[in-house]
Amino acid sequence: MVRFKLLGSLEISNSGRTCAITPPKVRQVLALLLVRTGKLVQVDSVIEELWAEASPRRAANTVQTYVYQLRKIIDQEGLAPAGRELLFTQPFGYQLQIEPEQLDICVFEAEVAEGRRMLDAGQPERASQRLRQALDLWTGPPLADVVQGNLLSTHALHLRELRMRALELRIQTDVHLGRDRDLIGELRSLVARYPLHEWFHGQLIGALARAGRRAEALAAYAELRALLDRELGLDPSPELQRIHQEMLAPAPGASSGLWTEDFALPDFGRSPALANGSRRGR
């Protein structure tokens, strides 16, 4: 089966063989058709993507040339099934018709939806596996080697957001499975990569606390509080402040005031992503 990949560099594989499309504008047109597969892409949209407000005088004719080159590549590489077409000319535009399982974006979205369904059905182990499969489809930033105009930039931003939500859901699922110790290293990396993503900080603090590493959890909270104060002039969310107070409280039934591993943290990791509640501003 011919497969198209956009979750990383643009790639086309046909029976294990990679098909090269080198002209940048042709790659850009193909990417736009792929992210809107099955839908009409108007010529005006292609012109906006390729040139924005600086389009050449005969832009529509130039678009036709790029589409002709794309059709030629489709034929030369045998990308269309026998007796079928992939790229159709419609009134006012073009339409690419491929099966959902041929495009990694469609596969990713279907896998995430299935993972969410499994989690809602009380199957967190299967949900975690399915979400990992979805995230494994990513090999880099979306459309990494494609020139991005206004439209593709918007699509790429949307895809990055979808990946972030899938990652959050997978982490939340692993917390349900009690994998706090396994998550700590990954969460530290995520906090370093996304320093202002408060939800990741909260998950790290919760995982450390549930793993019996209260001192590290308190240090992580202090680092977050200093970061938000320095960068944004804000306090941590009310939810995180509440958890901080829980960590400062003596463990139930303990005389030393130190936490033990079986201290029950509030169900922080099992709740939806932190809402941006009231904040102290400067």
Instruction: Tell me the per-residue pLDDT of 12-62, one tens digit each, with 9 for 90 and over.
Output: 999 889 998 989 999 999 999 999 999 999 999 999 999 998 999 999 999
Calpha distance 178→125 (Å, rounded): 11
User: Counting every residue, how long is the chain?
Assistant: 282
Q: Which of 136, 149, 120 is nearest to 59 (CA)?
A: 149
Burial 72-94 (b: 16+ CB within 10 A, else e): ebbeebebbeeeeebbeeeeebb
Calpha distance 93→112 (Å, rounded): 31
Residue 96, beta-bridge partner list: 87
Residue whose pair of structure tokens reads 């993503």 in the numeric block:
197
Longest dimension (CA), the chain: 82
Each residue's pLDDT tens digit, 92-124 = 999 999 999 999 999 999 999 999 999 999 999
Q: Which amino acid is at 166?
A: A
Per-residue pLDDT at 70 exceeds 90: yes
Each residue's pLDDT tens digit, 217-252 = 999 999 999 999 999 999 999 999 999 998 888 655
Res 278: pLDDT = 35
- Tokens in use for 37? 């597969």
Complete edge-to-edge strand list for the sheet that includes strand 41-42: 41-42, 93-96, 87-90
Q: Are 9 and 144 in contact (CB under 8 A)?
A: yes
Per-residue pLDDT at 135 exceeds 50: yes
Res 188: pLDDT = 98
- Cα–Cα distances (Å) from 76 to 14, 21, 67, 72, 187, in that order, read 12, 11, 14, 6, 46
Strands 11-14 and 17-19: antiparallel
Calpha distance 251→265 (Å, rounded): 10
Kindly report whether the global pTM for this prediction surpasses the value 0.75.
yes
- Tokens in use for 29? 């047109």
Residue 148's pLDDT band (cuts 50, 70, 90): very high
Calpha distance 48→174 (Å, rounded): 43
Each residue's pLDDT tens digit, 13-26 = 998 899 989 899 99
